[in-house]
């Protein structure tokens, strides 16, 4: 049974930083592409970043490029999202997801962690 558990969310002032973690279990972590997506109140879920199985290939949404860094540790079965220079518009529930199959579709999702950026 696949489980994805996010942590590290919270309240931060604009310009601040947070690091999100996603701990995965249930199958071989290093076999699968992983991603971070987010959903703000009243908005659709949107892509944030994606990382391939080895960690050598990453993709970012234009809105976070240069501020967010996605990474993974295949020994610890954990994916990370380092966020710096946070803006109020980054406020959302952040979800980690596993096994991408196009657009914003993944086979498995975490429960989400709230990130709130105050101005």
Residue 92 and residue 46: Cα distance in Å, rounded?
A: 10
pLDDT at residue number 103: 86
**Span 84-108, pLDDT tens digits:** 999 999 999 999 999 989 888 999 9
Helix (H) or strand (E) holding 114: strand 113-118
Which residues lie below 8 Å from residue 77, measured CB to CB, with a gap of 6+? 23, 24, 25, 29
Q: Which of 90, 84, 87 is nearest to 14 (CA)?
A: 87
Pairing of strands 3-7, 10-13: unpaired
């Amino acid at each position: 049974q696949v489980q994805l558990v996010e942590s590290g969310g919270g309240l931060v002032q604009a310009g601040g930083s947070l690091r999100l973690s996603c701990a995965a279990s249930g199958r071989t972590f290093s076999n699968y592409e992983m991603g971070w997506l987010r959903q703000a109140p009243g908005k659709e879920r949107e892509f944030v970043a994606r990382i391939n199985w080895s960690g050598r290939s990453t993709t970012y949404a234009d809105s976070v490029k240069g501020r967010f860094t996605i990474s993974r540790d295949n020994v610890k079965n954990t994916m990370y999202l380092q966020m710096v220079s946070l803006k109020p518009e980054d406020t959302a529930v952040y979800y980690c997801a596993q096994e991408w199959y196009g657009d914003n579709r993944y086979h498995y999702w975490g429960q989400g962690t709230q990130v709130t950026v105050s101005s």
